């Protein structure tokens, strides 16, 4: 507090000294102008300049101004960098992750011109009914539509179980490949009641057994938590693409045009939308 | 309760004796219903009409088929309150319009306030019943209340039920304003002072 007051006092004194020196020089300059205007002009300007610079240096005002200027510049640069980073993050998040055969679970003809990417939650009853709708549409499409499944566990209303089931489906894929993943998903939706009422300790090993997976390896995979990150990545991508509830789907035409579809819409709507995507050039 | 029902019947008799108010209520109810069912896919509808080169009939076909979502994308409860909100909204607004036409602005104002609350509450409740309400699901996490929906026994559908209740209250109040406003009540004292009332 004292230092601050002293600093302010010194600044006022310094400023006063500068003003006094300037005033004295101005008076002497005015006087000089009346006596010998022609010869004194250049010398007078030089004298005023030197005196003001000397005063400014001695009072430390220049240093303080320079320091403050540098501080403001650094702050501005920092703010601009933060804003740039935010924009880049937003742009990255808004990007729909392209379908990759090595990473995604694909059902139907992998070379199909139209893709339905579904973000789904194993505990959502609407995902359960929509699973059958999409299965029917893809089966009937004669290789024109492929189906990609990504995870969108809604922790707020299906805590713990939805994520664990998503990880279990990844364990099925790890141990039995793409086919095992889809067998797991089909059987899971057949067997379970949804709305977080699934007895996961019984159902998950049961499905693993039924689809021919090694029970011990499946249990070990599930306990390891090694697919949790992938589930989280899918979830983040679902939000980034605009998903706010499940099932959330994006239909991608051959030209890359995207149609977002929210909810468990009826067969007729899904079929017509896929036909429209097939007609896109 | 009997008085409310009597008022309701009398108000309906007065307002819907005019076919124009029946048309207004019907149109608004249909509009509200369409908006509620299409609400989750307004982005898709925009995309279809602005970005696709498919024929118009194909585009309209998709938009109409999305109405089937009331069966596949709504639980019985949420479909029920969505239909009820739409119908009550149409009737309430038509009755408010009747009040305004009668220049009973003060009575209409009170009902507009309650009706607006009901509509806001109804919009909050829109969405997939078991898989996250669209607006609350998006807004609550950003308010740091991501778990709030799980704490509600019906996962946010409470707002839809609240909306129906508010619209019903609004409808009863407006019915009273319409039914009981044909004559100003005169107290017994006044009758006593002046003798008979002609």
**Bridging pattern class, strands A105-107 and A258-262:** unpaired
- With contact defined as beta carbons under 8 Å apart, do B28 and B90 qualify? yes
* Distance between A133 CA and the closest CA of chain B, angstroms: 10
B133/A125 CB distance under 8 A: no
| Mean pLDDT across chain A | 86
* Segment A242-253, tens digit of pLDDT: 888 899 999 999
Q: Residue A76: what pLDDT?
A: 87
Contact: B130, A129; criterion CB under 8 Å: no
Which distant-in-sequence residues (6+ apart) come within 8 Å of A251 by Cβ?
Answer: A114, A115, A116, A117, A258, A259, A261, A273, A274, A277
Give residue for tokens 């007078």.
A44
Residues of A in contact with B49 (CB under 8 A): none
User: B130 to chain A, minimum CA–CA distance in Å?
Assistant: 7
Q: Smallest CA–CA separation between B37 and chain A, in Å?
A: 10
Residue with tokens 């002009």: A41
In this complex, the residue of A194, A242, A279 whose CB is nearest that of residue B54 is A279
Give B150-187 pLDDT, tens digit per residue.
677 777 778 788 888 888 888 888 888 888 765 555 56
Residue of A nearest to B75 (CA): A126
pLDDT tops 60 at residue A13: no
Inform me whether the pLDDT recorded for B115 exceeds 90.
no
| Mean pLDDT of all residues in B1-23 | 91
Residues of B in contact with A264 (CB under 8 A): 69, 72-73, 128
CA distance B53 to chain A (A): 7
Which DSSP string corresponds to chain A? Answer: -HHHHHHHHHHHHHHHHHHHHHHHHHHHHHHHHHHHHHHHHHHHHHHHHHHHHHHHHHHTHHHHHHHHHHHHHHHHHHHHHHHHHHHHHHHHHHSPPPP-TTTSEEES-TT-SEEEEEEE-TT-HHHHHHHHHHHHHHHHTTTSEEEEEEE---TTTSTTHHHHHHHHHHHHHHHHHHHHHHHHHHHHHHH---TT---HHHHHHHHHHHTT--HHHHHHHHHHTTTHHHHHHHHHHHHHTT--SSSEEEEE-TT--EEEEES---HHHHHHHHHHHHH--
Per-residue confidence (pLDDT) for residue B176, from 0 to 100: 85
Q: What percent of chain A has pLDDT over 90?
A: 59
pLDDT on residue A240:
92
Per-residue pLDDT, A234: 96
Average pLDDT over residues A232-236: 95
In chain A, the residue whose alpha carbon lies closest to the alpha carbon of B41 is A262
Least confident of A126-130, A267-271, B100-104: B100-104
pLDDT reading at A166 higher than 60: yes
Contacts of B77 in chain A (CB under 8 A): none
β-bridge partners, B133: B127
> What is the reported pLDDT for B138?
54
Shortest CA distance to B84 belongs to which of B168, B24, B157, B11?
B168
The reply to whether A159 touches chain B by the CB within 8 Å rule is yes
**Average pLDDT of span B141-154:** 62
Angle at the Cα of A56 from the Cα atoms of A55 and A62, rounded to 5 degrees: 165
| CB contact B42 to A (< 8 Å) | no
User: Inter-chain contact B132–A245, Cβ cutoff 8 Å?
Assistant: yes
**Chain B nearest C-alpha distance from A250 (Å):** 10
From the list B47, B69, B128, the residue facing A245 with the nearest CB is B128
* Residue B72 to residue A260, Cβ atoms within 8 A: no
Q: What is the mean pLDDT of residues B43-70?
A: 93
The pLDDT of residue B198 is 43
Smallest Cβ–Cβ distance between B130 and the set A126, A260, A266 belongs to A126
Instruction: Mention every residue, 6+ apart, whose C-beta is less than 8 A from residue B141.
Output: A156
Residues A136 and A126: their CA atoms lie apart, in Å, by 16
Residue A24 scores a pLDDT above 90? no
CB–CB of A114/A274 below 8 Å? yes
Mean pLDDT throughout A273-277?
96
> What angle (nearest 5°) sits at the alpha carbon of residue A80, between those of residues A78 and A82?
70
What is the interface size between A and B, counted as CB pairs within 8 Å? 123
* Interface test with chain A among B132, B142, B147, B153, by most A beta carbons within 10 Å: B132
Residue A185: predicted pLDDT = 98
Please tell me if residue A194 touches chain B, with a CB cutoff of 8 Å.
yes
Which residues of chain A are within 8 Å of residue B71 when distances are taken between CB atoms? 266
Task: For residue B68, give the nearest of A126, A195, A266 by CB distance.
Answer: A266
**Average pLDDT score over residue span B122-133:** 55
In chain B, what is the greatest distance between 2 CA atoms, to the nearest angstrom?
81
Q: What is the pLDDT of residue B39?
A: 87
- Range with the lowest mean pLDDT among A33-37, A62-66, A137-141? A33-37
Does residue A186 belong to the interface with chain B, where contact is any CB pair within 8 Å?
no
Is-above-0.95 flag for pTM? no
User: Would the CB atoms of B69 and A194 count as touching at under 8 Å?
Assistant: no
- Average the pLDDT over B50-64 and give the result: 92
Q: How far is B116 from chain A (nearest CA, A)?
A: 25
CA B16 – CA B95 distance, rounded (Å): 9
pLDDT digits (tens, 9 = 90+) for A38-68: 666 788 888 888 888 888 888 887 788 888 8
pLDDT confidence of B194, banded at 50, 70, 90?
A: low
């Amino acid at each position: 507090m004292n230092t601050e007051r002293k600093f302010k006092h010194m600044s006022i004194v310094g400023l006063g000294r500068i003003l006094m020196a300037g005033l004295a020089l101005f008076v002497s300059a005015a006087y000089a102008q009346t006596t010998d205007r022609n010869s004194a002009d250049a010398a007078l300007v030089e004298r005023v300049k030197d005196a003001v610079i000397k005063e400014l240096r001695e009072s430390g005002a220049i240093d303080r101004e320079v320091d403050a200027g540098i501080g403001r510049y650094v702050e501005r640069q920092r703010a601009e960098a933060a804003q740039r980073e935010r924009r880049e993050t937003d742009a990255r998040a808004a990007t729909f992750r392209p379908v990759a055969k090595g990473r995604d679970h694909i059902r139907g003809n992998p070379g199909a011109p139209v893709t339905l990417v579904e973000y789904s939650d194993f505990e959502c009853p609407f995902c359960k009914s929509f699973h059958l709708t999409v299965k029917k549409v893809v089966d009937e499409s004669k290789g024109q539509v492929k189906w990609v499944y990504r995870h969108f566990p809604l922790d707020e209303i299906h805590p713990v179980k939805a994520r664990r089931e998503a990880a279990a489906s990844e364990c099925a894929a790890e141990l039995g490949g793409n086919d095992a993943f889809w067998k797991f998903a089909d059987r899971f939706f057949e067997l379970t009641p949804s709305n977080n009422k699934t007895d996961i300790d019984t159902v998950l090993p049961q499905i693993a057994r039924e689809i021919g997976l090694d029970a011990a390896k499946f249990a070990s995979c599930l306990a390891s938590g090694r697919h949790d990150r992938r589930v989280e990545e899918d979830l983040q991508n679902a939000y980034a693409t605009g998903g706010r509830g499940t099932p959330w789907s994006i239909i991608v035409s051959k030209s890359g045009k995207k149609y977002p579809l929210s909810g468990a819409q009826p067969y007729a709507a899904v079929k017509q939308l896929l036909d429209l995507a097939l007609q896109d050039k | 309760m009997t008085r409310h029902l009597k008022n309701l019947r009398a108000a309906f008799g007065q307002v819907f004796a005019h076919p124009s108010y029946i048309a207004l209520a019907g149109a608004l109810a249909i509009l509200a219903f369409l908006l509620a069912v299409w609400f989750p896919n307004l982005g898709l509808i925009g995309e279809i009409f602005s970005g696709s080169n498919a024929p118009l009939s194909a585009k309209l076909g998709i938009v109409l088929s999305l109405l089937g979502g009331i069966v596949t994308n709504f639980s019985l409860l949420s479909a029920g309150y969505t239909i009820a909100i739409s119908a009550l909204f149409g009737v309430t607004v038509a009755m408010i319009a009747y009040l305004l036409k009668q220049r009973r602005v003060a009575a209409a104002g009170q009902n507009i306030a309650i009706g607006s609350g009901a509509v806001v509450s109804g919009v909050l409740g829109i969405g997939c019943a078991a898989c996250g309400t669209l607006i609350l699901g998006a807004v609550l996490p950003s308010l740091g209340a991501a778990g709030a929906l799980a704490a509600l026994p019906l996962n946010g559908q409470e707002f839809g039920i609240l909306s129906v209740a508010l619209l019903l209250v609004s409808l009863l109040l407006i019915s009273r304003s319409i039914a009981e406003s044909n004559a100003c009540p005169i107290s017994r004292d006044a009758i006593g002072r002046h003798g008979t009332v002609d």
